[in-house]
Structure 1
Amino acid sequence: MLDALTIGKRIRSLRTQRGMTLDDLGAAIGRAASQVSVLENGKREPKVSDLQTVAKALSVPLAELLSAEAPSPRAAREIALERAQSGPLFSSLGLAPVPVRKSLGDEAIEVILGLHAELERLHRERAATPEDARRANTELRRQMRRQNNYFPELEAEARRLLAAVGHAGGPLSQRTASDLAAHLGFTLHYVPDLPDSTRSVSDLAHHRIYLPVSRGGDPRGALLRALAGQVLGAKEPTDYDQFLLQRVETNYLAAALMIPEDDAVPFLLQARDRRELSVEDLRDAYAVTYETAGHRFTNLATQHLGIPVHFLKTHETGTILKAYENDDAQFPTDVLGAVEGQLVCRQWSARQVFDIADRFSPYNQYTDKPNGTYWCSSSIQSTSRGDYSVSVGTPFAHVKWFRGRDTTHRRTSGCPDPACCRRPPQGLADRWTGRTFPSPRLQSSLLAAVPSESFTGVDRTEVYAFLEQHAPSGE
């Protein structure tokens, strides 16, 4: 993207070096002096065609105007000041911006920038709250939607890693996953005392990865996520944006290793041509969990099959834990746009599935919503923390490609209208309003403070003590 502010400073610098006025440059490019001024002040993003005309008038190559480097240290300070004063933090102070004029000294600019930097630091420190996490997660989900939850650079990295260990295709065995660790220079150590706040611990000094002794589930998942973090060069995150992006990228790369794109796409294309697309077939073909298969399906469905989809992981209480959509499924959100933590409509398959006796087979349902009809397939996963439904769905126009489209299950949802399922029926409300006092179960997350030393929640003291205990002897 063109950096209008820097380009404007470069144009002004080159113009003044040549002794040209605004009128002179305007005449040379066929524009009014006021339009040149707007361009130099970075008030609008310039067109490349306009910049080519300006470059010709200033007798410089276009590349010189497009350089990301400020034309002088003074210009760099001015750019930093203008960006700071146009940002949301400065705007929230209710102060008038300081005009950036020649009479404004460098020392004054440095002081203002220093004060602004300290305000940003204090703001980040105070904003490291669940609210900040929800804001970051909302923006990350928007980014994932813009690219259809497809990360080509991570697909290429998975392809390179699999080729390095000679994986010929099909499901990734636990042995091949171990070979991948060896290829990356790590030894694996399964321990019963892994710190509770961690999924794995990587000892970079001794090239060891500590993993929990398996208590069920897919033992490859934690290993591949740990390896993905090393491959991607993950560092200690400094804010929620970095932390959440790291989680998304490591989970994505791990899934791309377990369900390789080069194998999975032909598999899915053949299923689509037979009109037999199903997440459970993808799960069975690659020996992964239903959740991993559902995630992976969303990575590939829009990019390679042209099918918009949505994904939900929902606790048995109806609370959304994970969500993704690029099909306008209209998930419930809070005022910040966050989906996680919200309650799914009682009429959606993500909650209806909990009432079905057959928990072995996926539950398929059509749901008529205010913005159209959607088909969804849901399956239940049981864990030590309760039961969860994993749902993958698509708009009615695309259901023709999926197995389960012949279901007779159909519901109508009026959400987000409270009358749909959040507001009690009028008869019940009339009978019980003012005649009951339920004692609520407090959600600890409402009051939980973010750890001051590690907002990720990792107990460093526990981790360091663990590493010290397990480090090779003689050191």
Structure 2
Amino acid sequence: MVMVDGARTPVDDDELDAITLGRRIRERRLHQGMTLDQLAAAVERAPSQVSMIENGKREPRLTMLRTIAQALNTTVDDLMKADAPSERVALEIAVERAVRGPVFSSLGLPGIRASKALNDDVLKVLLGLHGEIERLHRERASTPEEARRANAELREEMRARDNYYPELERQASELLTAVGHSGGPVSQQAVSDIASRLGFTLHYVSDLPYATRSVTDKRNHRIYLPVQQPSSRDSRSPVLQALASQVLGHDEPRSYADFLRQRVETNYLTAAVLLPEKDAVRLLTEAKNLRRISMEDLRDAFAVSYETAAHRFTNLATTRLGIPVHFMKVHESGTIIKAYENDSVRFPSDATGAIEGTTVCRNWTARTVFEASDRFSPWYQYTDTPTGTYWCTSRIEKAKEGEYSVSVGVPFAHVKWFRGRETTHRAESRCPDESCCRRAPAELADAWAQHAWPAARTPTSLLAALPTGSFPGVDETDVYEFLQAHAPA
């Protein structure tokens, strides 16, 4: 930018900053053999004013720039080039920019002038240190908002593809074919055979690093798994998830969005192996013809968890069965943990478009299921919403964080294919209208609005930064020490 009649004006597509302009003026002056005083006299300005221009602390007006160019026997266009006149000057400019930037300023350190007294190596070290400090600041700035944005962007892609990824289906089929799987549930032995064909051995240990479900030693082609699995956890899944990352050629994630995408791909491929497309579609098609599609039947047929079966149904429902669908995993507090839709159901969302972390309507199946007295049977419900009537089936599962519901729903026009369509449970949701369930009833509000002051139990994750490192939430030192201790002699 240069100042034209007191206003900032873009020079061209490559924005020219005051530091680069000043350095080009200085280099041209030295090339001409002129002192600062001589140039100041030639342009009829004080040496201190010209010095400020050369140091990038003042932007000259276009008329002054023309005068300077004439005094230096060059053109305005030459002085306004965006590139540095030499590699050394480029280093000096980079250091100047870093020193004047917000990150360096926040350290409270005295400024550094990139003078001729500092050799190239010193300048490079300063830039390297500044780059590392900036990286650490970016990590600290990786708030849950970044995670929500990444989730929202990924969900848009999933919706556009109806949550069906043929390339992952193909890879799952190839893995099963290679070990001779002929249909039905995939056994633990078949999973071990897949690992063997991919060149990995499985090792069950009691000292797996905290916060890891498995650790893969890519050098020695070993996968370490815990000796004891929680009763609610499918012992095949951690093996397949570890193998999926290798099959898919995942590199260390460069961002949280990268990490999230890899996790989605890994979980998809794992589910596609445990519930093979051909077999799952055959079962679901037969159930559709008989008008009795059931998540419980899908779960039992392939010996997987209810959540895995529900997830897998969303992969196949639209592309293979022609049924639009939505899915929700909701904590007992009402907070949405995961969600997906391509049936126009209107999930609550925040300003970033993210759904995770928002609160679902009290009248939706995902919330009313917690009030059901029968926890062993699926809960079915119709819900009238501003975008139409939806039918859902939901079940409660437990985790260390508490109870949560897993729900699958479809528009009213498609409920005819499902078991449980005859339910008499029905509710109305007017959300996002606050009068639906966000606002307290008038009688209660009148009695208590001026007398209540609750202390919110704010989840630490709401304000904390995302875990740092290549693999968020995992202590790399623990992992490396574990691998070192278990590496073959």
> Normalising to structure 1: TM-score of the pair?
0.75
Q: Does structure 1 conserve the Cα–Cα contact (< 8 Å) formed by 2:143 and 2:463?
A: no
Q: Does 1:163 align with 2:177?
A: yes
Contact 2:144 2:463 in 1 (8 A): no
Of 409, 419, 425 in structure 2, the residue corresponding to residue 393 of structure 1 is 409
Query: Does the aligned pair in 1 maintain the 2:204–2:225 contact within 8 Å?
Result: yes
Give secondary structure in 1 for the equivalent of 2:83.
Answer: helix
1:338 Cα deviation from its structure 2 partner: 0.9
Aligned to 2:290: 274
Map 1:43-442; keep pairs closer than 5 Å.
105=81, 107=83, 125=139, 127-212=141-226, 213-216=228-231, 217-442=233-458
Q: Is the 8 A contact 2:209 2:479 kept in 1?
A: yes
Residues 385-433 of structure 1 deviation map (CA, whole Å, 9 limit, x = unaligned): 3211100000111111111111100000011111111110011000001
When the two chains are superposed, the root-mean-square deviation of aligned CA atoms in Å is 2.6
The AA in structure 2 aligned to 1:461 is T
Find the aligned partners of 2:377 and 2:361 in 1 and give their Cα distance: 22
- The answer to whether the Cα contact below 8 Å between 1:128 and 1:239 also exists between their aligned partners in 2 is no
Deviation at 1:128, TM superposition (A): 2.0
Moved beyond 4 Å, runs of 4+: 102-106, 108-111, 113-116, 118-127
Q: Secondary structure at the match of 1:188?
A: strand
Distance 2:137 2:486 in 1: 39
Does structure 1 conserve the Cα–Cα contact (< 8 Å) formed by 2:363 and 2:427? yes
Deviation at 1:435, TM superposition (A): 1.2
How far 1:106 sits from its partner (Å)?
7.0
Percent of aligned pairs with the same amino acid: 61
Deviation at 1:368, TM superposition (A): 0.3
Give the Cα separation in 1 of the matches to 2:428 and 2:466: 40
How far, CA to CA, are the matches of 1:124 and 1:325 in structure 2? 32
Q: Distance in 1 between matches of 2:402 and 2:140?
A: 33
Contact kept, 8 Å, 2:142 with 2:465, in 1: the verdict is: no
CA distance in 1, matches of 2:136, 2:193: 45
Gap change, CA 1:231 and 1:455, over 3 Å in 2: closer
Q: Is the 8 A contact 1:128 1:455 kept in 2?
A: no
* Structure 1 residue 192: Cα displacement: 2.0
User: What is the identity, as a one-letter code, of the residue corresponding to 1:184?
Assistant: L
Distance 1:337 1:449 in 2: 20
- Report the counterpart of residue 61 of structure 2 in structure 1: none
Deviation by residue 1:82-106 (Cα, 9 ceiling, x = unmatched): 9xxxxxxxxxxxxxxxxxxx97747
Greater Cα offset, 418-427 or 441-450 = 441-450
Deviation at 1:225, TM superposition (A): 0.7
Question: Is contact 2:254-2:470 (8 Å) kept?
Answer: no
Q: Equivalent residue for 2:105?
A: none
> 2: CA distance between counterparts of 1:215 and 1:426?
46
| Whole-Å separation in 2 of the counterparts to 1:240 and 1:252 | 18
Equivalent residue letter for 1:189 = H
Task: Measure the CA separation in 2 of the matches of 1:302 and 1:373.
Answer: 18
Amino acid at match of 1:147: R
State the shift of 1:453 in Å.
3.8
* Cα distance in 2 for residues equivalent to 1:308 and 1:272: 14
Q: Deviations over 1:317-340 (max 9, x none)?
A: 111111110111111111111111
Partner of 1:368: helix, strand, or coil? strand
| Separation in structure 2 between the aligned mates of residue 127 and residue 163 of structure 1, nearest angstrom | 46
Q: Specify the SS of the correspondent of 1:155.
A: helix
Gaps of 5+ in 2: 1-11, 16-76, 99-130
> How many pairs does the alignment contain?
377
Look up the match of 1:7. none
Q: Quick one: which amino acid aligns to residue 161 of structure 1?
A: L
Letter aligned with residue 239 of structure 1: S
State whether residues 348 and 413 of structure 1, in contact with CA within 8 Å, keep that contact through their aligned partners in structure 2: yes
SS at match of 2:319: helix
In structure 2, what is the equivalent of residue 65 of structure 1? none
Report deviation, 1:131: 1.0
Instruction: Give the match's secondary structure for 1:420.
Output: helix
The C-alpha deviation readout for 1:319-377, integer Å capped at 9, x for no partner, is 11111101111111111111111111110111111111111111000000011100000
Residues 419/218 of structure 1: CA separation in 2 closer, same or farther (3 Å cut): same
Distance apart, 1:123 and its partner CA: 8.5
Tell me, what secondary structure is at the counterpart of 2:329? strand
Q: Point out the structure with max Rg over C-alpha.
A: 2
* Aligned residue type for 1:160: E
Change over 3 Å in CA distance of 1:120–1:141 after alignment to 2? farther
Provide the TM-score with structure 2 as the length reference: 0.73
Instruction: Quickly say closer, same or farther: Cα 1:223–1:434, change in 2 above 3 A.
Output: same
Aligned amino acid, residue 152 of structure 1 = P
